Structure 1
Amino acid sequence: MTELESYLLSITQVTSLEILWDMHQRRMATYGFDCILYAATRLRTKNGMGDVRDALILSTYPDDFNAEYLDGGLFRDAPMVRWAMSNVGSRSWSEIAADYQEGRLTAGERRVCEFNRRHGIVAGYGISFPRTSERSGHGIGLAARNMTQAGVDELWSRKGQEIELLNLVTHLTILSLPYGTHGRPLTARQREVLELVADGKTVQDVAHVLGRNPATIEKHLRLAREALDVDTTAQAILKASVQNQFYRYEA
């Protein structure tokens, strides 16, 4: 087994998102990519990307970059993000630079390019992963602050398929792991109650199974809705399912 095959196998055996992300950023650093940003959502809307708080976002960018780009919503005008919304595959940032120079970008897209330049983010590649539904979207941006775009393109000509494979296997593993987005995590009891309701049980059924009164079960459901920042129990079940929070092994 080659070193690459051994590493790919190790990725598929990871059960912690934190460990997997640490492994991936270290691996990408060996190619020169020191800033990476992964984003995945299964809750896109027909008219846009949906609420960023419902997406899984992993970033190694500096905090001041994330504050404006992510929290400030600048990412919505990013040329690579817009491309990834309707395309699958990889794209060199040289294509975006050419669009900028030739005036093919919107004012918002140009503003993102200028923002990146101020932060020294000028060389990289983007990957948009295959989607399984109209509501899903998954991609990763790889930036190399100590390389030129010509250097990145030359690297990609030699190692692009290998890098794409590493990112795809990591992405598929991420999709199988539990995660939370914002707010407080579900407690074991809140998750258990949601699981039982998801299995088709009524509040009265759940109360009987757990040996509690219905009012206590309603309280757990209300707290679960608050933790997941949704209005209904059906929405809570959908969101917890999307985040792979159901039927988890407890340490």
Structure 2
Amino acid sequence: MTKGKMTDEIAPLIVRIAEAPGVEMVWSLATDYFRSMGFSRVNYGYTRFLHGSGIGNPADAMFLTTASPDYATRYFAGGLYARTPAFKWAHANTGACTWKWVREAMEAGTLTPDELAALRQNATMGVRAGITISFPEASARAKGAMGLIADPDLTEADVERLFVSRGTALQAVAQVMHLKLVQMPFSARKRALTTRQREVLEWVAGGKTAQDVATVMAISLAMVEKHLKLAREALDADTTAQAVAKATLLNLIFQPQPLADAAAV
């Protein structure tokens, strides 16, 4: 496929992703495309709290997958992702690559015991070939990456050919999806911010004191303090300043009203 035809094919999809109003639609549009390319199972992760080789508190990270609930539990909650060679590559690199190098490293005996164990565990779930995309980030504390797991009927050679012929299109859709997702409010916590908690944090972020907020919102100072306390608890923050910072990084405040409503309870 020529570059011109490829652009014509994915341009409408990219526009739809860019205009999508929520996380679910962005994810659905992108993964439908990946599925049509032979990648029904897609894993995506993003954190704004990267520290060393860790992603920070998992509750503050975004994890999305089209895989089965059992696989998602083992891969994300069980920490399997952090032991895979692909994750370590994504942590240290930016760009895209197939998993051919993983097989070559295994055959060369250069993988660690943990990495080999992760590969064996993945193999039991039909994960053998695929593509990793590691996204460039503007912040040293942020990192996003995605794994496209090849369908069972695709061989490693099939994925290599697909990567050569359609790799640019796959990456273009993935990049736009990622850029859209990181703009959106996301709360993986059991307790999301309420509308009032969000509003109080926004006033504090704007430089208002608790007494100022009470006056502006026409509520008591005690109620302002209560909202701030509950917001700190919801965000697992020790101070109000930390709560404001986390809410800002997680796009939970200063959002257009439809997105803000979707993020509130």
TM-score (norm 2): 0.91
Which segments of 5 or more consecutive residues in structure 2 lack a partner in the other structure?
A: 1-6, 259-265
Select 1:187's aligned residue among 181, 184, 194: 194
CA distance in 1, matches of 2:165, 2:223: 60
Kindly state the Cα deviation for residue 249 of structure 1 after the two structures are TM-superposed. Answer: 3.1
TM-score (norm 1): 0.96
Partner of 2:224: 217
Kindly state the Cα deviation for residue 248 of structure 1 after the two structures are TM-superposed. Answer: 2.4
Partner of 1:4: 10
Q: Give the % identical residues.
A: 37
CA distance in 2, matches of 1:39, 1:91: 17
Q: What SS class does the counterpart of residue 57 from structure 1 fall into? A: strand
CA distance in 2, matches of 1:210, 1:130: 40
Partner of 2:261: none
Select 2:178's aligned residue among 171, 181, 192: 171
Partner of 1:63: 69
Q: Is 2:27 the partner of 1:36? A: no
Structure 2 matches for 1:125-144, cutoff 5 A? 125-144=131-150
| Contact 2:53 2:91 (8 Å CA) reproduced | no
CA distance in 1, matches of 2:252, 2:73: 27
Q: What SS class does the counterpart of residue 172 from structure 2 fall into? A: helix
Q: Is 2:211 the partner of 1:204? A: yes
Task: Show CA shifts across 1:130-184 (max 9, x none).
Answer: 0212111111000012211111111111000111111011111111111112222
Q: Which amino acid aligns with 1:248?
A: Q
| Contact 1:122 1:145 (8 Å CA) reproduced | no
CA distance in 1, matches of 2:9, 2:112: 44
Q: Which amino acid aligns with 1:103?
A: G
Select 1:111's aligned residue among 117, 136, 153: 117
| Contact 1:183 1:228 (8 Å CA) reproduced | no
Kindly state the Cα deviation for residue 47 of structure 1 after the two structures are TM-superposed. Answer: 5.0
Q: What SS class does the counterpart of residue 178 from structure 1 fall into? A: coil
CA distance in 2, matches of 1:49, 1:125: 21
CA distance in 2, matches of 1:92, 1:111: 20
How many residue pairs get matched? 251
Question: Where does structure 1 differ by over 6 angstroms across 4 or more consecutive aligned residues?
Answer: none
CA distance in 2, matches of 1:25, 1:160: 15
Kindly state the Cα deviation for residue 24 of structure 1 after the two structures are TM-superposed. Answer: 1.2
CA distance in 1, matches of 2:53, 2:162: 36
| Contact 2:55 2:61 (8 Å CA) reproduced | no
